[in-house]
Amino acid sequence: MTALPLVIAPDPRLKTKSTPVKDIDAEIKQLVADMFDTMYYEKGIGLSAVQVGVLKRVMIADVTWRDEGGPGEQHIMINPEIIENAPEPNVYKEGCLSFPDQFVDVTRPKTIKLRYLNIDGETKEGDFDGLLATCIQHEIDHLNGIVLTDYASPLKRDMILRKLTKLKKAGVFDQHDHDHVHGEHCNHG
C-alpha cells in the first residue's frame, strides 16, 4: 500500500487547471493505484490527481466502500468531461480531503452524462446520479482548479482558509501523523 501525501489548502496547486493525459502508461496506472490507497487511507470517497500533487486530469471515486468491507465499486476516469447535465438540482453538504473537517453546502446537477477514458485508454460514456454524480463533479472541479471554498460565502471561505493556514503552520497536517475525524458527510477528494 502506498498512501501519498495530500495537498492541503491553501496551496496554489489546488487552484491550477490540470493537463490532459496523453498516454495511459505504467506511471499513470501506478498513480491510479496509489490514489486508491490514499483515498481509502484518508477515508474519502473521491480523489483527483492534483490532490496528491500531480497536475494530470485523473480522478477516482468509490462511494460504496466501507472500512471493514474493503473496496466497493471503483471508478477511474481519465480526461473526464461532463457532456450533459440534468436541470434538476441536488444540494449536498460536501467535504474534501484537501480541506480537512470543513464542509460546505453545494448545489450541483443531480444527474450527469460523462465522457472519459478508462484505465485501458478506451473512451467511455456513462450516466451518473446521486452521490456518485456529486462526487464526480467535485473531482472534475479539482481538475479545473475549482475548490470547495469557491462555493462558500466570502466570510466562510476566509474563515476556513485562515483556520487551515493556522493548522498547517502548527504542523497538524504533517502527512499521516494525524487522525481524521470525519462526520457523516461526504468527503470527496
Tell me what percent of the chain is helix, strand and coil, each rounded to the nearest 5: 30, 30, 40
Catalytic position from the list 68, 73, 139, 184: 139
Asked if 49 and 28 count as a contact pair (C-beta separation under 8 A), the reply is no
Give catalytic status of residue 81 as yes or no: no
Question: Which cell is 161 given?
Answer: 482558509
Question: CA angle 13-15-20, nearest 5°?
Answer: 75
Look at residues 69, 119, 105, 70 and name the one whose alpha carbon lies nearest to residue 186. 105
CA separation for the pair 182, 13 (Å, rounded):
24
Q: Grid coordinates standing for 27?
A: 506511471
What distance in Å separates the CA atoms of residue 108 and residue 124, rounded to the nearest whole number? 22
For the annotated catalytic residues, the residue numbers are 139
